[in-house]
Structure 1
Amino acid sequence: MSAWWARRALRTRIALGVGLVALVVLLALSRLGAGLLLDAVVEAGDGELRDRAVAARQAVVDGGPVPGGLRVTDVAGTPVDGRGPVPLAEPAVRALGSGEPVTVTGPGEPRRWVAVAVTLPDGSPRLVLASRDLVGAAALLGGAAGWFVPAIVVAAVVLAGAAWLAAGAALRPVGRLRAAAAATGEGERLPVPPSRDELAALAVEINALLERRDDAADRLRRFSDDAAHELRSPIASLRATADVAVAYPSPGTTDDDREAWRTVARDAERLSGLVTDLLALARADGGQRAPAGSVDLAAAVVEAVGRLDDEGPVVTTWTPVAVHAAATAAEVGLVLDNLLGNARKHARSVVHVSAVPAGAWVRLLVDDDGPGIPEAERSRVFDRFTRVEAAAGTTGSGLGLALVARLVEGRGGSVRATGSPDGGARLAVRWPAAP
Structure 2
Amino acid sequence: MRALERSGLRARLTAIATALVAVTLVAGGALLVLALRHSLLDGLDTSGRERAREIAALVQSDSLPSGPLAVGAGTAVAQVLDGSGAVAEASVGGDSLVPLVDSATVRRVRAGAAVPLAGSRVGLPDELRLVGVPAGSSTVLVAVSAQEARDTVRLVSFTVAALVPLAVLCFAVACWLVVGSSLRPVEALRRRADEITGAGEGLRLPVPPGRDEVHRLAVTLNGMIARLEESSRRQRAFVADAAHELRSPLAAVRTQVEVSVAHPQAAPWDETADGVLEDVARMTRLVDDLLLLARIDGAPETRDRPVTDLGAVVASVVGAVSSVGPRVPVTCDVAGDVRVRADADSLRRIVQNLVDNAVRHAATAVEAAACRHGDEVRLLVSDDGAGVPPEARERVFERFARLDDARSRDAGGTGLGLSIVRDLATASGGTAALEDGAPGARFVVRLPAALPVA
TM-score, structure 2 normalization: 0.44
Q: Quick check: which has more Rg, 1 or 2?
A: 2
TM-score, structure 1 normalization: 0.46
